[in-house]
C-alpha cells in the first residue's frame, strides 16, 4: 500500500482504505526505529531498503536467505484479539533457519495481508516483528501491508517474512562437519512455537475449549499459553559458534525433533536422543490428552520442548552448556551421534 496516497471514492467503495494504510505506517514507525543496524542506508524514494555491506570484513562471504510465515497461529491471535506476539514468531521462524548454516541475520522484510487495515492492529503486528528483529540482532529494513477485501474477512490477516544473512564460505555449518561421537545439545523451546497449530485448533474446537479459560496445569489462560512467542535463538547460536566448535545446528520446526535433526546429519551417521533427559512442558501432554493424539503423532508434529539443537564435539559439550546457561537458554546434553544411516531417533521415555 503506497505511503502518502489519498483515498479515492471508487477505491474506498471497493474496500481499500488508503488513508488507514497511511495511518498504520505512521503508527509503526516508532517500532521500526527500534530494529535498526548502522549499515542501513535511507532510500529517498522509500521503495526499497538499502544496506551497506562492508565486504572488507569478510574473506569469502556467502549471502543466505530464508522465508517463512506464522501459519494458523495467527487465527488464535485473531480469536484472542491479541496481535503483539505473532510478529516475534515470524522473526523466529526466519532468522533461526538462517543461523542453522552459521549465518548472521542482517535484515528482514515483512508482508502483512489483511481483509481490512486497522491501523492500531497493524502497528501491534509490526511492534512484535520489530522486537523480534531486535532480539535477533537484525534490521527490519522494509515491509508491505496489503488490504485484500473479499479475499479475506475484515478481521483476518496473515504474515510472511524474508531474511538475509551472511556467513563465511569456509564457516558454513551442516552435515559435512558432523562426526561420530558428537554430542547433541538440546535448547529448550518456549512452548509450541509456531508449528502444529492446525492440529491445536482442531483439538480446541472439538474439545470445546475456551481460550479465555484458565487451565490449572498450564498455570495461565489457554489463549495466553498458545500465544507464547517463539524463542529466538539466533544470537545465542552465533555466540555459541564463536566460542565453541559447533558442527551443525537444527531448527526444530514442523516435523518435530527427529525429522529436523536428521536434516543436519550426513549419510552414515545417526543421532540418538534420550527422551529421559527432559520432560516436555505441560502444553504438550495437555494437547495430547485433550485431543487423544498419540505419541508418534505428537513427536511428528510438535517440538516437544526442544526448539533448537546443536551438534558439537563431545569434549566441548560442557563448555557449550555453560555458555548457554550464562545466556539464559535452558539446555542439556540430550544424546549423541553414532554410526548409522543418516537418521535421528528418540529412545526411552520422557522424564
Q: What is the pLDDT of residues 139-156, one digit of tens each?
A: 999 999 999 999 999 999
Percent of the chain with pLDDT over 90: 89
Looking at residues 335-339, what average pLDDT do you find? 98
Question: Biggest alpha carbon distance in the chain?
Answer: 69
Exposure class string for 253-265: b at 16+ Cβ within 10 A, else e = bbbbbbbbbbebb
pLDDT at 8: 64
Q: Quote the pTM value.
A: 0.94
Q: What is the pLDDT of residues 269-309, one digit of tens each?
A: 999 999 999 999 999 999 999 999 999 999 999 999 999 99
Amino acid at each position: 500500500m503506497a505511503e502518502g496516497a489519498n483515498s479515492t471514492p471508487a477505491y474506498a467503495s471497493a474496500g481499500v482504505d488508503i488513508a488507514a494504510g497511511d495511518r498504520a505506517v505512521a503508527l509503526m514507525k516508532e517500532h521500526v526505529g527500534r530494529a535498526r543496524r548502522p549499515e542501513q542506508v535511507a532510500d529517498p524514494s522509500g521503495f526499497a531498503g538499502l544496506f551497506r555491506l562492508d565486504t572488507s570484513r569478510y574473506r569469502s562471504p556467502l549471502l543466505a536467505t530464508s522465508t517463512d510465515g506464522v501459519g494458523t497461529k495467527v487465527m488464535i491471535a485473531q480469536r484472542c484479539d491479541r496481535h503483539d506476539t505473532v510478529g516475534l514468531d515470524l522473526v523466529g521462524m526466519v532468522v533461526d533457519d538462517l543461523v542453522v548454516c552459521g549465518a548472521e541475520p542482517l535484515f528482514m522484510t515483512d508482508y502483512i495481508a489483511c481483509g481490512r487495515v486497522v491501523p492500531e492492529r497493524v502497528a501491534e503486528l509490526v511492534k512484535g516483528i520489530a522486537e523480534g528483529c531486535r532480539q535477533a540482532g537484525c534490521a527490519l529494513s522494509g515491509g508491505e501491508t496489503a488490504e485484500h477485501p473479499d479475499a479475506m474477512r475484515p478481521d483476518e490477516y496473515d504474515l510472511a517474512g524474508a531474511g538475509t544473512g551472511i556467513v563465511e564460505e569456509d564457516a558454513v555449518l551442516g552435515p559435512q562437519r558432523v562426526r561420530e561421537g558428537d554430542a547433541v545439545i538440546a535448547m529448550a523451546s518456549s512452548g509450541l512455537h509456531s508449528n502444529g497449530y492446525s492440529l491445536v485448533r482442531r483439538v480446541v474446537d472439538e474439545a470445546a475449549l475456551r481460550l479465555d479459560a484458565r487451565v490449572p496445569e498450564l498455570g495461565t489462560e489457554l489463549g495466553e499459553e498458545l500465544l507464547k512467542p517463539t524463542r529466538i535463538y539466533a544470537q545465542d547460536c552465533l555466540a555459541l559458534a564463536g566460542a565453541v566448535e559447533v558442527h551443525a545446528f537444527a531448527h526444530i520446526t514442523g516435523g518435530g525433533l527427529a525429522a529436523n535433526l536428521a536434516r543436519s546429519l550426513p549419510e552414515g551417521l545417526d543421532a540418538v536422543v534420550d527422551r529421559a533427559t527432559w520432560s516436555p512442558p505441560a502444553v504438550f501432554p495437555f494437547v495430547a490428552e485433550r485431543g487423544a493424539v498419540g505419541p508418534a503423532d505428537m513427536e511428528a508434529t510438535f517440538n516437544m520442548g526442544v526448539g533448537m539443537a546443536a551438534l558439537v564435539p563431545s569434549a566441548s559439550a560442557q563448555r557449550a552448556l555453560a555458555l548457554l546457561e550464562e545466556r539464559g537458554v535452558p539446555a542439556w546434553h540430550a544424546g549423541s551421534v553414532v554410526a548409522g544411516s543418516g537418521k535421528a531417533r528418540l529412545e526411552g521415555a520422557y522424564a
